[in-house]
Amino acid sequence: MSEMYDFPIAHVLRAGTAGFSAGARVEQIDQPAFGMVVRAQPRGGTREVVYGLLYDIHIDDDPLVRQLVLANTLSEEIIRDQHHHRIVPVEMSVISIGYRGFDGRIHYALPPRPPISLDPVYLCNPEETRAVTQQFDYFRMVLSNGQVPGEQLLAATLLMAATMLPEREQYPFLVEAGREAARLLSNEQPRLDNLLRLIYPNHTR
């Protein structure tokens, strides 16, 4: 299981301070999922490690796919070959929620510099995920970003992060997260209700 965190899931295609997109081969998308915490790792340690939440996996077509979908039959061999030799990468979109500075601390703010093209992107392992998500300072960045499905994204991240805690700590963690969300969304009751239903659907408020 630990091996899934040791190798890049993608490499940066383009980036800004608010987020970045990364490209991957088709066979690399079995592990990443909506809401996971990822990091863009600079080469050589001359820039900050950027943390973000994966909010979209986008698969564009390519000229060969357009032709293949018109074929009467598609063999497994043809599909495997197309996946392996695909000329358009699978694209993952990430919203930045913080960075690890040269002081070793995690800062919940936009990074001073974005990742650059071809920087490797890794899934954060359970320990790193807990370190990033144990404070809720990133909530505002997620909920105020109109380019991402804020409540859905935040809920997915929180539920995933909760599974990496001891069982006795999981529900209290989600309760504290709900309280912070209630503070931030006090004037947006429909959004708050939606988020709370998502993070603890089996409990009544």
* Length reported for the chain: 205
Sorted by sequence, the CB contacts under 8 Å of residue 161 that are 6+ apart come out as: 37, 129, 130, 133, 173
Residue 86, pLDDT score: 64
- Statement: the pTM of the whole predicted model exceeds 0.85: yes
User: Hey, what are 35's tokens?
Assistant: 């809401």
| CA pair distance 82, 91, nearest whole angstrom | 17
List pLDDT tens digits, range 127-180. Answer: 999 999 999 999 999 999 999 999 999 999 999 999 999 999 999 999 999 999
pLDDT, one tens digit per residue, over 87-141 is 678 999 999 999 999 999 999 999 999 999 999 999 999 999 999 999 999 999 9
Domain that holds residue 11: 2-199
Terminal-residue alpha carbon distance, the chain: 36
Q: pLDDT tens, 51-96? A: 999 999 998 877 777 667 666 677 677 667 666 666 678 999 999 9
Residue at 205 is within a domain: no
Which residues are registered as beta bridge partners of 121?
10, 40
- Degrees to nearest 5, angle at CA 177 with 175 and 178: 65
The answer as to whether 113 is a domain residue is yes
User: How many structural domains is the chain composed of?
Assistant: 1
- pLDDT recorded at residue 205: 42
